Amino acid sequence: MHKKILVTDGIAEDAKKILEAKYIVDLKKGLSPEELRKEIRDYNAIIIRSATKMTSDIIEYAENLEVIGRAGVGVDNVDVKSATKKGVVVVNAPGSNSNSVAEHALGLMFALARKIPEADYSTKAGKWEKSKFKGIEIEGKTLGIVGFGKIGYIVAKKAIGLGMKVTAYDPFTTDEKFSSLGIERANKLEDLYKVADFISIHLPKNKDTIDLFNKKEFAKMKKGVIIINSARGGIIVEKDLADAIREGQVGGAALDVFESEPCASSPLFELDRVVCTPHLGASTDEAQDRAGIMIAEQVSDVLEGKPATFAVNVPAVSSEAAEAISPFFELCDNIGGLFTGLFEGNLETIEIGYEGKIADYDTKILTNMILVKILGRYSPENVNIVNVGLIAEENGLKVKEIKSLKAKDYINLITLTGRGRESELSISGTVTGMKNRPRFVSIDKFAIDMVPSRYMAFVKYEDVPGQIGKIGTAFGKLNINIAAMHVGRKKISGEAVMGLNLDSEITDEMLKKFKKLSGFENIKVVNLV
């Protein structure tokens, strides 16, 4: 009996032909969630775009479903965890829309620079207001790109061809990638703000980027800067941007994405110096054809029992290896999360060492779990354990595994070492007890014994009497309870590091007060999620 595929949001004709050669394909657009719950029972695969939401309750009804194909890059509309629990493979089409999104970002920039939408509306209204719509040239202007992944790179390349100067910020991309285009690298966002006439955003939406561009950040930018966002909604605080435009600090904005979509109301809609489009970045014939074909081929492979090229949730690992390495999953997630919170500078190389019994197995999945935590923070791609190696390679990040079956202090030990031009950080961890609880045993080469927790803080200080008391007192005055305290040092009266497990989050304002109360400036706050 032929397997059945449901297509809910349309698909390219060539992609449809690939599927119809082997399967029964039904196109049913505009299904409500209730209708989809009923329909999904009969299908082995479903292919969707952004309009269809594959929520946990819909997936629960999918008795025969083997694969969800997202004909595009983002999988925000798929409950990947529920799919994984159900044993359903989720595949997407990374890179299929990169050029289209890059071109749209530049199109928005042109539209704003030359006031094209306003001039179009005025002219069609029977007016001829030539002097009212005087614009600016983009040649010779500086474009600041925030997020130098695949799309950011394409934008930079095209902007250079238009005669623009380009400065980009991305701490997890190597110098080689910047130098390949001969563009300026900003080591801090503030460095980019100082020079950019236009800022184009190409970041993922995550805990580190939500509300990243706010009132405080706009105030640091060059007066009159023009901002373009074709990445993800929620990265910009729309009210703050509207205020900055009214005040003249920001010269204008062009947005293809919004905090809430579909977006029917925004403070930005009231402003003349704003151009808005309804998330059209990937809406080109070419991008949709590429995405459709990529998804059709992958869905076909999965239904035939073959591995998918871009599976979001399926690592390749044997059952024997899975049993041996699965106790280290949480540890690797913790190590990667701690590293992103502590590392400063531009990351160029990552070295992951495995010591003890763990070194006898294929540890690629563990390495990838660590990389996902690191690269997922800044990459505009949807980073997962399947594609993270490719994304690291595209960003010029050198990744190396080192293995030794000889155990020293621990039965198993995992050590992450990250290096940049001027910085290096190493973190070691292991698992202990019957429940394989993760522990940090070394941070920045300081021996320590610390159980990871959601809220943590790390303080470096001179190892002299009274220091620990000062730290505890300062947190007490802030009404922050210390659940556990761990101290590591290399020698008496030398430098020491204190790791603290906290019961609640430290806000930026609290951090300022802590520094003032305690006198310690070298403190890092890390929240693991």
Residue 380 is predicted with a pLDDT of 65
Residue 385 is predicted with a pLDDT of 72
Q: Which domain holds residue 270?
A: 98-276
Q: Are residues 167 and 179 in the same domain?
A: yes
Q: Are residues 88 and 33 in the same domain?
A: yes
Residue 279 annotated to the active site: yes
Catalytic residue (one of 49, 70, 279, 439): 279
Q: Are residues 90 and 104 in the same domain?
A: no
Q: Are residues 295 and 324 in the same domain?
A: no
Q: Are residues 22 and 117 in the same domain?
A: no
Residue 419 annotated to the active site: no
Last residue of a domain, one of 241, 268, 303: 303
Residue 487 is predicted with a pLDDT of 93
Catalytic residue (one of 63, 137, 261, 505): 261
Q: Are residues 387 and 458 in the same domain?
A: yes
Residue 53 is predicted with a pLDDT of 93
Q: Are residues 19 and 144 in the same domain?
A: no
Its sign, for the CA torsion 442, 448, 452, 456, is: negative
Q: Cα separation of 186 and 177, whole Å?
A: 13
User: Does any domain span residue 247?
Assistant: yes
Residue 188 CB-density burial (10 A; 0-12 exposed, 13-18 middle, 19+ buried) = exposed
Cα radius of gyration (the chain)? 25
Q: Are residues 293 and 335 in the same domain?
A: no
Q: Cα separation of 148 and 379, whole Å?
A: 8
> Is residue 395 within 8 Å of 149, Cβ to Cβ?
yes
Q: Are residues 91 and 126 in the same domain?
A: no
Q: Are residues 118 and 90 in the same domain?
A: no
Domain count, the chain: 3
Q: Are residues 230 and 107 in the same domain?
A: yes
Beta bridge partners of 277: none
User: Does any domain span residue 43?
Assistant: yes
Cα angle 38, 44, 46 (rounded to 5 degrees) comes to 70
Report the predicted TM-score, pTM, of the whole model to 2 decimal places.
Answer: 0.77
Residue 471 is predicted with a pLDDT of 92
Q: Looking at this protein, which amino acid is placed at residue 39? A: E
Q: What is the DSSP string of 127-176?
A: ---GGGG-----TTPEEEEE--SHHHHHHHHHHHHTT-EEEEE-TTS-HH
CA-to-CA separations, 186 to 33, 190, 206, 313, in angstroms, rounded: 46, 8, 22, 34
Residue 261 annotated to the active site: yes
- Stretch (H or E) spanning 372: helix 364-375
Residue 381 is predicted with a pLDDT of 64
Mean pLDDT of successive 10-residue segments in the chain (529 residues)?
A: 90 93 95 95 94 93 93 87 82 92 98 96 95 95 96 97 97 90 95 98 90 97 98 96 98 96 93 95 92 94 84 68 85 96 93 95 90 83 73 89 92 96 94 93 94 95 90 93 93 89 94 90 90
Catalytic residue (one of 70, 104, 232, 419): 232
User: Does any domain span residue 437?
Assistant: yes
User: Does any domain span residue 426?
Assistant: yes
Per DSSP (E only), the strands in 347-468 are 347-356, 398-404, 412-420, 424-432, 437-443, 446-450, 455-462
User: Does any domain span residue 310?
Assistant: no
Q: Are residues 467 and 490 in the same domain?
A: yes
